[in-house]
Amino acid sequence: MNVHDKYKPLTFWERTYLPRIWDGLVLTMRHFFFNLWHFFLASIGVQREWKGAVTYQYPEVRRPIWPRLRTLHRLTKREDGTPRCVACMMCETVCPAKCIYIVAGERPEKQIEKYPLQFDIDLGKCVFCGYCVEACPEDAIRMDTGILEFAAYGRNGMLLTKEMLLSFVPKKEHYTARPDLEARPAPAPRLSEA
């Protein structure tokens, strides 16, 4: 079956093409003049209730994020503050971008034995697939920091170290249950501020 068969067949009027282009332009124009008029009224203080175009005034205002959105990684800790990670390298193994670099070491307390001496994620390669989070048997890595901005001037600046990963905290307030237009949280910190 042709995949296109599931679409509604075009009417004769639609197949003539140009009139529909005109329809589209009319729609765009209508929004344009509608917004123009309402912003004008708002700027002279006539009305404040009606909403204009839905645009976020980034970076002062940020778009709310879904709870499932994968943001920058972090490493979770045990109650005593040590990393939960046991350096099993499941995440390193599953990572399709091969951007996790773990070096394992022996821990002094013998009940856990193993922990990461080094845990680097090269964000320059990461594709944010979240497989590392899925693969982790210890719930030691999560992508819930709410941090989305981590631009850097060079590739080295894109390297997240174990210390950085452990220092991030989950930013629950940046997530809303429903990305409601009303809920506009305070800006999430950038990587440099976190």
The contact set with ligand SF4 (CB under 6 A) reads 85-91, 94-97, 99-100, 102, 121, 126-132, 135-136, 138, 140-141
**Span from 50-58, 64-72, 113-121, 165-173 in contact with another protein (CB under 8 A):** 113-121
User: Which of ligand SF4, another protein, none lies near 128, with the C-beta cut-off 5 to 8 A by kind?
Assistant: ligand SF4
Least Cα distance to 159 among 191, 121, 188 occurs for 121
Count of CB atoms situated within 10 Å of the CB of 129: 14
Encoded one letter per residue, x for contact with another protein by CB under 8 A and - for no contact, window 120-159 reads -----------------xx---------------------
Distances (CA, A) of 68 to 80, 177, 180: 28, 10, 15
- In this structure, the number of other CB atoms found within 10 A of the CB of residue 11 comes to 8
Return the ∠ at Cα 119 (arms to 118 and 121), rounded to 5°: 140
Interface mask toward another protein for 65-104; x: CB under 8 A = ---------------------xxxxx-xx-------xxxx
* φ, ψ (nearest 5 deg) of residue 28: -60, -45
For another protein, the binding residues (CB under 8 A) are 86-90, 92-93, 101-106, 110-114, 118, 137-138
